[in-house]
Each structure stands twice: as structure tokens, then as C-alpha cells.
Structure 1
Amino acid sequence: MQLTVNSLAASLALLAPSAHALLRFSCSQLVVERLDPLVFPGVTGSPHVHQIIGGNAFNASMEYPRLDIPSEATCTTCTFAEDLSNYWTAVLYFRARNGTFKRVPQMANSGFEGAKGGMTVYYTPSYNNGKVTAFKPGFRMIVGDPTYRTEAQAKKFRQLTYTCLENILTRTGETLDMPKKPCKAGIMANIRFPTCWDGKNLDSADHSSHVAYPASGTFESGGACPSTHPVKIPQLFYEVIWDTRAFNNPNDWPTDGSQPFVWSFGDPTGYGNHGDYMFGWKGDALQKAMDSNCNINCPQLKTQSISQGNQCTKQVTVNEDIDGWLKELPGGMPVTDANGKVLY
């Protein structure tokens, strides 16, 4: 999609959430493999495949303070060069009628056409100009649960959704489950994290109890944080666009009319949508950006071009085929239903 300078500015304004200020930037793909230093620290070959963006310090063991991300990373795939954080999600697969799986590629968001897959990342400081506290060194969190397979379970997390894209600018019609029809311009997974912190713990046993949603209302409506988690933190938000266009032929879809896409963790429903985050900004760069109420662009931060971000790479640790037509999901991950029954 070719955009002029004026149309690019207009599209960015359209895509940005309705807020007084926010950071919106591209992070190209760093690596795709079965590593998960949050849930399975030290394990080479976690249960399912992830796609990771951000700093090249990413590895199987990232315990803090043994590993300080900003000190260890030498480059980042993100356009804000001081952001050496790591962000990751599961990977989407297409299941053909013959039972084989094919990894769905990612595509860049509007305005970031030069990016190598990856994600669009947002940090929104506030919807009512209130003070927010940037994440601290060693901070990490997860939102969502890969074991969930029902709508009731998915509703425990706010705003983990999908958008069936009619075009690259579509931002309406979000659903909790995977779209049930072919999407002309791909499927966008929307991952929004909680916005309140207990002010003490950089992590928790489940990697989510140290953060919470507002006690009433929403982040967007300026809802107050609960007394247990009184510190307002930025709303972290991922947009990940899966290029499903090559799989839109109805003749390739299941004969029973169901949708054919499956997450790498064996979820055919979409309700297990989740995302992981490890903070790794240099110094006080993120706090400075939040205090400055930067609006998409941020003169207070150092930037690099998307092409420079594309050059930041990491060698794959788990050597396996994740891109061919596979007889099973990588790691032998089974596809399961709401009752834990193995479907295939």
C-alpha cells in the first residue's frame, strides 16, 4: 500500500486510539522460535512457537538482575532506538483439509510498510492527562491465557480481540474469537495489557497478579486503579497483523464450515489470545516520553529507520522446521477444545 506523506499522516491519526498522547511505533520481527523466558525460563524448546520483537538480548534465560536487558542488547528491531524491550506473541497456523499445518506470515501495519513482519506497539500514558509511572528495570508481565477456549474465560481479560480486516485501515468489528469468514486484508490480533500496578513487584508467580485493570470503568474512561494496585502504568498495546490472504479460498477451508486457523499453542477458537512483555528501555527514556505527552512521534527519544531495525537479528536457538507444510504443530502441540479433548 503506497501512501503519500499527507495520506500517511491522516492514516496514522485514524489508526491511533482516541487519546491525548501516545507512542505508536513499529518493531520488526527479531526471531520466530520455541523460546519463552517468562513461563519456561532456561528451557530451550518451550511448548509452542513465539514470534519475538525488540532487543537482541532475547534468550532462554533472562532472569533479572542477572541479565539487564538494556546493558546486554546491542540493537533493537524497534524504531525507538532506546527501546530494547522484548515483546512476543504466539504464531498463527493454517490447517489444510489434509490435516497439515502452514505458518501464516505477518504483514506490516499501515505506515510501516518497510517493516519485516513484527508488530505495532503502543504506549498510552493516560486518557485524562493523569500522571503515569513507566515500567521499572526488571518489570515483566503476561496478559491472556493460552489454555482458555471459551468466551466466558476470554472475558476475564479486557480487550484481547481480533479484527477481520476489510482493508489495512479497518478498526471496527472486534471479536473475542477468531473470525469465522475469510478476511480480505488479513486478521489483526489486538493485545491490550492491564494499566494498574501494585507498585512493589516487578513480576509475580503467574506473571499477571502484580498488574490489574481499573476498579471501575476502563483505562479509556479514566477509571481509577484498585487499592491493591494503586499505581497507574501506561497502557501497552500490540497490533499484530497476520497475512491470511493466501488462505482465503473457501475450497481450502474445512468442509463443516468452521474456520481453519489455529494458534501455535493448539487453540482453534482464538480465546487463548495472549501476549508477553519484558521491559528494557534505556534509563528514563520511557518515563520521559510519558511525561512529555508525545503524540506518535517523540522528539525526546532517539529513533532509527525501519530499515535499520530490520538489520537487528538474533540467531535461532531451536533448529526445527516451522515454515513447511507440517504434519503437526511445532513441539508436537496438540489442538484441543474447551474440555481439553485433543481434536487433532
Structure 2
Amino acid sequence: MKGLAHALALVALLAPSKAALRFGCSTVTIQRLDPVVEPGNTPSAHLHQVVGGNAFGPVMNGDIGEQGSCTTCTFSEDFSNYWTAVLFFKHQNGSYKRVPIMENAALPAGINGGMTIYYTQQDFNTNGKQHITAFKPGFRMTVGSPMQGADGLTKHKGLRFTCLENKNTRFPEISDFPKQACKGGLMTEHHFPACWDGKNLDSPDHQSHMYDTQPTGFAAGAACPSTHPVRMPQLAYETLWDTTQFTSMWPKDGSNPLVFSFGDTEGHAYGTHADYMFGWKGDSLQRAMNSSCMFTACENGKPLKSQSVAEMNKCSAKNVVNENIDGWLDALPGRPKGT
């Protein structure tokens, strides 16, 4: 019987995965911290909006899933942190105002800002048949870079914008800020690579240990190369920005008034970027990837524990950097006036 149990466990381990996760995370903090790219810097160079576990801080090491006391994500076993730069509107008088974040229409009502997070293993609509290996404790990565040139769109095909007609709009995806005010707001999309080298939990540039075979977005990826042979979940973030409150102030000359917190006034998708730090408790993410559930069917213990929107919203991280980020500002946080 012991041998049979071992054999069945091995078959379960090698069985093709079919799961796809889509869930919301409310905002856990908005401040100038970046424990991946600028560990220990208080403050970091530019402002980030962060979701996930409340252990987020200037330095994060070890198993993040065992740190913190709450998470802003639907799945209460997910203490990972997910973050991106913050979007601002620049008035013609030179002042800036942070653009509010909206919840995704596909998610429960009442989520406080935040993002929609995806862990897919083939594409948006179907489950695949290959085994997916969950990220490991200590794993981290980034996608995109504010320092990148135009070739970044070739290297990072999953960085895009969508000008929203409403919250259900998904196409077309565009590679630059829209030339006009969007009726329903603006969505930023960050798709991470899904092929791992199988060795390194991080790399000096926070990207070389991963490889991207996705043609774009949620499309099915090609086989992983021999240098990065391990297929992991395709991680993606969607952030909906409520730019509609600025429509009446949109420049009449067609110039772009949107700017990311790192100072990008051009609005090219290759300049946007996102960070990820794995923090699922125990084997919870692997259990999900080994299951056959999709989206909300994975909640309520099938196989993942989930929590209410009220519980998500009441979780927050410690505010380490005390500076004004709201209202009309003379300059972007951390940047000289006029830049």
C-alpha cells in the first residue's frame, strides 16, 4: 500500500495542470519603496502602487508567504506582492495629480483600487495540458524597465495599454498612450515571461532567469527553450486607471497629459514596468496549478481559501515613507519640479 500511495503521488505530481487563476487584490500601499530593484532605499526613486501581503517594506528576504498578518488578495493564502509605477495627470499649469485606480468589472464590487492578477497556463479562454511548476519561496522578477529603449516592445511583448470604452473593453491593445481622452479610462497590462532557468530565484537584472515565449498578451506560448526549460504560470497584471475625471482638462492641442511616476511623459509601453515577489503559503499555488479549476471556481476551498472584499480592503502595509502623494502636486514624488 505504501508503494501504491507513492506511485499515485508521483502520478499526481506529473499530471498535466489545467488551472487558471483570475482574482482581485486591493491596494495594500502606495509609497516610494522597491525591495526588488532598490532594496533598502527609503525612499526609492519613484512611487509604486502595491497589492498583496502587508509585510511589504524596504527589504524583503526569505519566505514571504510566512511573513505578514494579512493580504489584500482574494485568496487568503497569497501573501505575494505585486506592484507597478503610478499614473499621474499633468495639468497645463505644470502641476500633477495621481490618477485613481478602478476595480475590474469582472471582479466583486467594492475592491479598493488595486489590480487584477492572472496566473494562466495556456491562454485566457482555455486550459492547457502541460505540467506547470509553481514559483518557489524567495522567487522574484520584473518585466519592462523605465530605462529601456524602443526595442523593449520586442523583448517585452506583454506590455500594453487599452483605451477603455467601458470596464469590459479589452481591445485593441496599443503600445503608446492614447492620443485623446478615453471614454471609460485607461488600462495598463503587464504580462511576465513564463519560462524559468530552473536554478535562480533572481538574477542581477531581475529578468535573465526568465524567458518569454508568448507571442503577445494571453496568447499560448511556444515551448520553453533548453536554457529556460521549466514552464511556470503566466503571470499578468491589469490596472484600470480612472482618467475620466480629467477629460475636461485634456489639452486641446493633442499633447499627452499622462505621465508615469518615474517621469515618462512619452507614454511608450516599453517604459512601463512591474515587479513580482512570490509569497503563496506552503504548496497552495502548486495545488491550484495541479487542479482543473478556472477563475472564481478556484475559490472557497476548491482548492484555494478565499476571503471577502471587506477583509481584503482592511489590510494595509506600514507607511515607511511619509510624503504627500495626493491632491495637485508641484512635482512628481521624488523628482525635481518641472520634470
- Tell me which of 21, 24, 44 is aligned to 2:22: 24
**1:152-184 CA distance string (max 9 Å, x none):** 333321110001000110011101111111111
**1:294, distance to aligned residue in structure 2 (A):** 1.8
What residue is the counterpart of 2:5 in the other structure?
A: none
Q: Is the 8 A contact 1:107 1:242 kept in 2?
A: yes
- Aligned-partner Cα distance in 1 for 2:212–2:323: 38
Match status 1:288 vs 2:287: yes
Q: Which amino acid aligns with 1:214?
A: T
CA 197–246 in structure 1, closer or farther in 2 if over 3 Å, else same: same
Distance of 2:74 and 2:54 partners within structure 1: 14
Residue 114 (structure 2) pairs with residue 118 (structure 1): yes
Mapping of residues 22-171 of structure 1, within 5 Å: 22-63=20-61, 65=62, 68-110=63-105, 111-127=107-123, 128-148=128-148, 150=150, 152-171=151-170
Q: Tell me if structure 1 keeps the 8 A contact 2:103–2:111.
A: yes
- Segments of structure 2 that go 5 or more residues without pairing to the other structure are 1-16
Moved over 6 A (4+): 215-219
Equivalent residues of 1:146, 1:274 under 8 A apart: yes
**SS of residue matched to 1:246:** helix
TM-score of the superposed pair, with normalisation by structure 2: 0.88
Q: For residue 145 of structure 1, what is the amino acid of its counterpart?
A: S
- 1:213 paired residue number: 212
Match of 1:270 among 258, 262, 267: 267
Note closer, same or farther for the CA distance 1:55–1:181 as it changes in structure 2 (3 Å cut).
same
CA distance in 1, matches of 2:174, 2:216: 20
Give CA deviations for 1:79-123 in whole Å, capped at 9, x if unaligned: 100000000000000000100000001011113321000000000
| Count of aligned pairs between the two proteins | 312
SS at match of 1:155: helix
Inter-partner Cα distance in structure 2 for 1:230 and 1:333: 44
Contact conserved, 2:19 with 2:290, CA < 8 A, in 1?
A: no
Aligned equivalents of 1:113, 1:266: Cα separation in 2: 32
Give the C-alpha shift of residue 211 in structure 1.
0.3
SS at match of 2:289: helix
Other structure's SS at 1:331 match: coil
Q: Give structure 1 stretches of 5+ with no counterpart.
A: 1-18, 336-343
1 CA distance for matches of 2:204 and 2:53?
Answer: 24
Query: Given that residues 145 and 273 in structure 2 are in contact (C-alpha distance below 8 angstroms), is that contact kept between their aligned partners in structure 1?
Result: yes
Provide the C-alpha distance between the structure 2 equivalents of 1:189 and 1:217, rounded to a whole number of angstroms: 14
Q: Which residue type is aligned with residue 162 of structure 1?
A: F
Q: d(CA) in 2 for partners of 1:166 and 1:153?
A: 27
Task: Evaluate the alpha carbon distance shift between residue 224 and residue 106 of structure 1 in structure 2; reply closer, same or farther with a 3 A threshold.
Answer: same
Cα RMSD over matched residues?
A: 1.9
Letter in 1 for 2:56: F
Equivalent position of 1:338 in the other structure: none
